[in-house]
Amino acid sequence: MSAEREGQSIGSRHRRVLRLLANAPLGRADGKLIARFSSEIFELIAAGLLEVHEETRKEHGRTITTVSVRITLAGRRAAKN
């Protein structure tokens, strides 16, 4: 359930994270963003404004599993407010 649907407002740091992701390539967070805003990112995931995707790929004969954090459509709307 998103914060927007519950009528809750999000804080300025949350909005900053959403705006950074809205302007990022493919709407994905990089490691520096995750490290700097980890608590806000977890809160935005819980609110449904960000989502986590697991990705598996092969590199140099090894299988690598990574996790990416992406902004949702609701997150993009919240970033504009």
- Determine the pLDDT at residue 8: 57
Q: Say which residue the tokens 């300025």 belong to.
A: 12
pTM of the model: 0.76
- Determine the pLDDT at residue 81: 78
CA atoms within 13 A on the CB side of 13: 10
Looking at this protein, which amino acid is placed at residue 12? S
2, part of any domain? no
On the question of pLDDT at 6 being above 60, the answer is no
Can you give the residue range of the structural domain that contains 33? 12-80
6, part of any domain? no
Query: How many distinct structural domains can be found in the chain?
Result: 1
Shortest CA distance to 53 belongs to which of 63, 42, 64, 65? 65
Reading phi first (left if > 0) and then psi (alpha if -120 to 50, else beta), residue 7 is in left
CA-to-CA dists, residue 58 to 20, 29, 46, 67, angstroms? 29, 21, 30, 15
42, part of any domain? yes
pLDDT digits over 23-69, tens only? 888 777 888 888 899 999 999 999 999 999 898 999 999 999 988 88
- Determine the pLDDT at residue 9: 72
